[in-house]
Amino acid sequence: MIAVFNAITNIAEDIEKNVFVDCDRFISSGLSDKERNEQARAYCSSVIQREFKRVKSIKSFIGKQHKDERIHNENGRYLVTYVAIDNVDLLDVNFSLGSIFGIYEKRRDAFHLSAAIYITYGPTFQLVFASKYEGVQYFSFEDGEFIQQDELSLLNEGKINTTAGLVSEWSDEHRALVDSFFNKGYRLRFSDSLCLDTHQILFKKGGLYSSPKTPSFPDGKLNTIFEAFPIAYIIEQAGGRAINKKGRILDMTTTDIHEMTDIYFGSKNEIQIVEDSFLNN
C-alpha cells in the first residue's frame, strides 16, 4: 500500500504543476472547450498510468473515462480504479478539482475495497487517504512535500447542504427534503466537483451531499465503482454514512464498471432524515 500511496503523491504533484499551476497551456491553447478538456483529461490519465506502471503491487488499473483495464502485474495485489480529473469543465474558472482512487484487493466490489484516496488541486491542494486501520488522514502540500495533518472525522450533525442535479428536474419529494435543511439554517455549498464537495463536508465536520435520480440521469449521476464506492468508503471511515434509495452504498454487490447510482452521504443525523423521507414518500 505504501508504494501505491507514493505513486499517487507523485501523480498529485505532476497534475498540480502541469495542469493547474500551468493551466494557461490548456486554457490559452486555441482549442475549443471540448478539445481543451479532453487534452487536460488525457494528460492526467497519462500521468496516472505512467506512475502505476512503476508499482509492482498493482495488478491492474482502470479509469472512468478509459474503461480498458490495463493488466500490469499478474502477481500484483491491488486492482486500482481512478477518476483522472473530476469535472474538467470547471478548469477555466480556477475551481479546485480532483482525482479519485479506489484500491481494491482480488475483486472490484465494495467488500474488497482496501483504501480510497482523493486529491484536490488548484487553490486547495491536498490529499485525503482512508483505510480501515488508519481512519481518514489528510495531507497538505508544504515546502515541496505532503505533510500529514490531523485525522478527519464527522460530527453526528453538520450545517452544509450540498445538492446536485438540475433544480428543474428535482422531484417534489427531493425539493421538500432540500428545503427542509435550508429551513433549519443549513448553508448551500456546491461546486459540482465531487472531490471538493466531499472535502467541504469533511472539513466542516458534517452536512449532507445529495445526488438524486433525475430525468437526465435516471439511474443516478455517479459511477458506482469509480466514484460512489471510494467516496462512500471515505465518508464511512470518517464516521458518516452513504446511501442510495435502496440502502447502504457499500452493501451494493455490483462489479459492473458501467453501473450508475444516486447517492446521499454525510453525517449520521442527516442521513437518518433522508432515510425517513424515503419511507414517507
On the question of pLDDT at 87 being above 80, the answer is no
- The pLDDT value recorded for residue 23 is 64
How do residues 224-273 score in pLDDT, each as one tens digit?
999 999 999 999 999 999 999 999 999 999 999 999 999 999 999 999 99
* CA nearest neighbour of 121 among 137, 136, 141, 150: 141
Tell me the per-residue pLDDT of 54-86, one tens digit each, with 9 for 90 and over.
999 999 999 998 777 888 889 999 999 999 988
pLDDT at position 257: 94
Residue 244 burial (CB count, 10 A): 24
- Specify the higher pLDDT residue, 179 or 33: 179
At 42 the pLDDT is 87
Task: Name the percent of the chain lying above pLDDT 70.
Answer: 93
Predicted confidence at residue 24, as pLDDT, reads 64
3-state helix/strand/coil string of 133-191: CCEEEEEEEECCEEEEEEECCCCCCCCEEEECCCHHHCCHHHHHHHHHHHCCCCEECCC
Going by pLDDT thresholds of 50, 70 and 90, the confidence category of residue 19 is confident
Kindly state the cell numbers that stand for 100. 479519485
Residue/partner pairs of 16-22 with CB below 8 Å, 24 or more apart: 16/121, 16/122, 16/125, 16/141, 18/43, 18/47, 19/43, 19/44, 19/85, 19/91, 19/121, 20/97, 20/121, 20/122, 20/125
pLDDT on residue 27 = 58
Query: Is the predicted pLDDT of residue 199 greater than 60, yes or no?
Result: yes
211-to-110, 228, 273 alpha-carbon distances in Å: 19, 11, 15
Q: Residue 230, exposed/middle/buried by CB under 10 A (0-12, 13-18, 19+)? A: buried
At 92 the pLDDT is 59
Q: What is the pLDDT of residues 116-141, one digit of tens each?
A: 999 998 878 999 999 988 899 999 99
Where residue 142 falls (left for φ over 0; alpha for ψ -120 to 50; beta otherwise) is beta
Residue written as grid cell 466490489: 109
For residue 144, the model assigns a pLDDT of: 85
Instruction: Pull the grid cell for residue 149.
Output: 495533518
For position 210, what pLDDT does the model report? Answer: 96
More confident residue, 35 or 116: 116
Q: What is the pLDDT of residue 161?
A: 95
Cell of 152: 478527519
Task: Give the residue-averaged pLDDT of 212-220.
Answer: 95
pTM here is: 0.94
The residue with cell 464511512 is 236
Q: Would you place residue 30 in the very low, low, confident or very high pLDDT band (cuts 50, 70, 90)?
A: low
pLDDT at 186: 94
- Phi then psi for residue 38, to 5 deg, are -65, -35
Computed over every residue of the chain, the mean pLDDT equals: 90
